[in-house]
Amino acid sequence: MKQGAHGSAVTGIPDRPADAARVPAQPRAADVARERDTSTPGARGEHTHSERPIPQPRVVVQRSSVRGQILDALRSALVTGELKPGEVYSAPALGDRFGVSATPVREAMQQLALEGAVEVVPNRGFRVVERGTRELAELVEIRALIEVPVMLRLARTVPAARWAELRPLAEDTTRAATSGCRATYAESDRTFHSALLALSGNEQLVRIAEDLHRRSQWPLVGGPPRPGHADLIADAAEHTALLEALIARDLDVVRALVGEHFAGAT
C-alpha cells in the first residue's frame, strides 16, 4: 500500500529496471490483420445459403487481449517509475518497445488518461501526470474513510471461515513483498484489499476502492523515497496480522491494525 524526473521530449520507455513488467512481443502482422477492414460477406453481416457467417467475436477477443496486456504493462511501469512524471511518451515509440503496433498502445494510454494517470499532448503523445505528496495524502484519506468503517462492520458479521478463505491472498502479498518487485506487490496488495471489501457484497464500493488504490500507487514528484524491500515486507505482514484478527473477531486489534495500515500509506 505504501508508496520522479521532469522532461518533455517524446521518448520511449528507457531501459527497464529489474522489476519492470514484460509484455510478450506480438507479431505486427497479427495486429494489421486485426485492424484492417475485411471484405468477407460474414464480416458485413451478409451471408448466402451456401456459407456460414464468419464468427467475429474471436477477432475482438484477440484485439482486446493485446490491449489488455499493454495496459497492464503500462500500469506496472507507472508503479515502478519506468514511466516518469512529466515525460511525454509517443504510442509508436512505446509500440516499438513492446513489439506491437501503435494502436493498442494508444488505446491503453487513452484508458490511463481516463483514470488520470496521463494526459493527452496533441500530435506528440501522452504526458505522465505530475503528482505531489498532498494528492497522495488526500487519496489515502479517502481510502481510509471508505474502507475502515466497512472493515469494522464486516469484522462483526462475517464468519471466521470466510476470512480464513482469504489466507492464500495474504500469503501472496508476502511472497510478492519478498520478491522486491513493486509492481507485483502493488497488484497482490490491491487484490487482497478488494477481496476483503468484496465480502460486503457492494460491487460499486470495490470498484471505487480499487481505483483509489491504483491512483495511490502512481509515482510522485519531490516526494519521499519509494518504499524499499523492507517496507514491502512490513506492509505484507500487516495483512497477515489483520486477517488473523478478523478470524479471531478481535475488534480492538482490527481497528488498530487498519488505522496503522492506512497511516503508513502516506
Within-domain flag for 3: no
Answer yes or no: do 114 and 145 share one domain. Answer: no
Same domain, 63 and 118: yes
Q: How confident is the model over 55-75, as pLDDT tens digits?
A: 433 333 345 588 889 999 999
CA distances from 210 to 30, 61, 248 (A): 33, 24, 26
Same-domain status, 169 and 112: no
Of 128, 158, 187, which residue sits at a domain end? 128
Asked if the model's pLDDT at residue 30 lies above 90, the reply is no
Query: How does pLDDT run across 138-178, given as a tens digit for each residue?
Result: 999 999 999 999 999 999 999 999 999 999 999 999 999 99
Domain final residue pick, 82, 105, 128: 128
4 located within any domain: no
Q: For the residues 224-240, what does the mean pLDDT come to?
A: 82
Judge if 208 and 102 occupy the same domain: no
Considering the domain architecture, whether residues 144 and 107 belong to the same structural domain is answered as no
- Domain containing 195: what range? 133-263
Residue 171: the pLDDT is: 95
HEC per residue, the chain: CCCCCCCCCEECCCCCCCCCCCCCCCCHHHHHHHHCCCCCHHHHCCCCCCCCCCCCHHHHHHHHHHHHHHHHHHHHHHHHCCCCCCCEECHHHHHHHHCCCHHHHHHHHHHHHHHCCEEEECCCEEEECCCCHHHHHHHHHHHHHHHHHHHHHHHHHCCHHHHHCCHHHHHHHHHHHHHCCHHHHHHHHHHHHHHHHHCCCCHHHHHHHHHHHHHCCCCCCCCCCCCCHHHHHHHHHHHHHHHHHHHHCCHHHHHHHHHHHHHCCC
Same domain, 121 and 168: no
**Same-domain pairing of 21 and 37:** yes
Task: Check residue 180 and give its pLDDT.
Answer: 86
Q: Write the CATH number for 54.
A: 1.10.10.10
Residue 37 has what pLDDT?
44
Distance CA 178, CA 72 (A): 21
What is the tally of structural domains in the chain? 2
Residue 5 lies in a domain: no
Whether residues 72 and 16 fall in one domain:
yes
In one letter, which amino acid is 150?
V
Within this chain, do residues 151 and 221 fall inside the same structural domain, yes or no? yes
Tell whether 49 and 109 lie within a shared domain.
Answer: yes
State whether 81 and 44 are in the same domain. yes
Q: Are residues 75 and 163 both part of a single domain?
A: no
pLDDT in tens, 172-222: 999 999 988 888 999 999 999 999 999 999 999 999 999 999 888 887 776
Percent of the chain with pLDDT over 70: 73
Q: How confident is the model at residue 128 (pLDDT cuts 50, 70, 90)?
A: very high
Q: What is the pLDDT of residue 48?
A: 41
- 1 assigned to some structural domain: no
Taking the model in full, what pTM does it have? 0.68
- Is the Cβ–Cβ distance between 213 and 190 less than 8 Å? yes
